[in-house]
Amino acid sequence: MSAIRIAIIPHASPAYEQARLLRERILRLPLGCTLSEKDTEGEEAQIHIAAMDDASAVIGTLLLKPLPNAVVKFRQMAVDSAMQRAGLGRKLVAFAEQTARERGFAFVELNARMYAAGFYEKLGYAAEGEPFTEVALPHIRMTKRL
């Protein structure tokens, strides 16, 4: 993974479009749905992070949605199937946490799919509340102080 770079990408850029298509392919199509306009509403005000290979193809992505009170919400993390379980998700989260700190955020929240909760727990996130259904799958709210 030495040729992989992680960066903030502009909304509506070609890299953003690649990231949006990756999110749809990994997060929505397996559930028989697509990434709707409602799903991407307000993304122009969010921070878009992408992992790119040496050919500048987006192979991972994560969005940061600023919320009040120095809180940022991590959303829509997706890693290309061929790169899963290779440490890219951890690198995306570390980059996102550093970016959030640099921008003055003190607290992260996210809604993790239940099967991904263990991944986030290993990175210091704590589950809060009861599981709930989002996009037809069980999720749990998780938080971390930066």
Of 87, 77, 80, the residue nearest 110 (C-alpha): 77
CA end-to-end span of the chain: 26
Domains and CATH numbers, the chain: 5-145 (3.40.630.30)
User: CB neighbours (10 Å) of residue 58?
Assistant: 23
Lookup: tokens for 52: 């790119």
**pTM: predicted TM-score of the whole model, two decimal places:** 0.94
For 69-122, the pLDDT digits (tens) are 999 999 999 999 999 989 999 999 999 999 999 999 999 999 999 999 999 999
Residue found under tokens 């919400």: 73
